[in-house]
Amino acid sequence: MSTPPAPELAGRRLVLGLSGGIACYKAADLARELVKAGATVQVVMTEGALQFVTALTMQALSGRPVVASTWDLREPNAMAHINLSREADAIVVAPATADFIARVAQGRADDLLSLLCVARPVERCPLLLAPAMNREMWAHPATGRNVAQVRADGAVVLGPAAGDQACGETGDGRMLEPAEIRDALVAFFQPKLLAGRRVLVTAGPTFEAIDPVRGITNHSSGKMGFAVARAAAEAGADVTLVAGPVHLPTPPGVRRIDVASACQMHAAVLPEAPRHDVFVATAAVADWRPAHVNEHKVKKDGRRGAPLFELTENPDILAEVARLPAAERPWCVGFAAESEDLVRHSREKLQRKGVPLIVGNLGPATFGRDDNALVLVDAEGETELPRADKLTLARALVAEIARRLPDGVRA
């Protein structure tokens, strides 16, 4: 059995600021999500926020008394703006209204939350803002200038999303969902081991059509490849994900290209590969496809046996990328999904494909599951990554890739 992963925000001390908008109702769930993820959450509310959700609610969810006034005398030195900002690993304002973003852009400090943002040690207490406002307010030129200014001053802006709004209109300006903000915080704190790198990942199975309704495929769920894409993005990389036919959400910040067959994946990957520094071939690509695709469904008529299909070999995507000229070739990582003799087959694949690293796993033991165990095979030997959830393994793999990459962006 795999060891349950540690809470992803364990040990983090967060100030969760609420400014006055209807999205405060989401902030209640966000506080709960952050606490579940292991963070210590100190809620700070503006006067406007208190019109939408009570301090009692936020105290119950965070487990700590809410602070709402600059003049709160519960602090021995009466300096909540200093004490809270010195203790925090980050200040997260969700919702951040148009008015609050304007205050931050101007450096105003006329309530506790804006005072905290100005008083924080910028070099060690980052500020993250999750905008929430009507679509016209988000589109207003003044808001655009203010958002550009807070970014220039070092704040991280999370979102906003598009969709239905409380006013009945639809468009940009919705606050991200609590789980999205939680995941953005988790990603923010990950080491940026691949900052400045471009990573291309393939994921999932391929589907090789026999006729309009049938085809050849495999049990790959795509979860490992999507986890690798997410981990690489968390590590600061610019990530492109080429995905076979799977039903998984795109990891935040990842550019996605959907394909179905091996030939389509080949056609998507080959032009992209020279533009990337690392290629991680996680996809379980079918080795063969039907030589001819029937125009209509092949019927069972009861008068003859099962139809025979001629198969032809699919292109070897990893090998072709590994054979690109040195100036165009990314640093290649292959995956080997085996059913036996994992290390031997992985080493044979390493030599056959001509790549620096093969990641071996037992396909029947991982397809469709949320956990896995990996063995990294290179010219020097083998390194085992023991069974864990796939995102934990993906982060460990990204760290190994970053450690092994040559100083230049090309192998």
- Residues serving a catalytic function are 167
Measured distance CA(86)–CA(121) in Å, rounded: 7
Q: Are 265 and 202 spatial neighbours (Cβ–Cβ below 8 Å)?
A: yes
Indicate the DSSP class of residue 274: G
Rounded to 10°, the helix 112-119/98-106 angle is 40
Measured distance CA(226)–CA(254) in Å, rounded: 10
Q: What is the DSSP string of 192-258?
A: -TTTT-EEEEEESB--EESSSS-EE-----SHHHHHHHHHHHHTT-EEEEEE-S---PPPTT-EEEE
Q: Which residues contact 261 (CB under 8 A, 6 or more apart)?
A: 206, 207, 208, 209, 286, 289
Q: Which of 261, 308, 306, 309 is nearest to 285 (CA)?
A: 261
Q: Which residues contact 39 (CB under 8 A, 6 or more apart)?
A: 9, 10, 12, 13, 14, 185
The CA-CA-CA angle for residues 103, 252, 276, to 5°, reads 115
Indicate the DSSP class of residue 386: E
Q: Which of 141, 175, 172 is nearest to 158 (CA)?
A: 175
Q: Which residues contact 403 (CB under 8 A, 6 or more apart)?
A: none
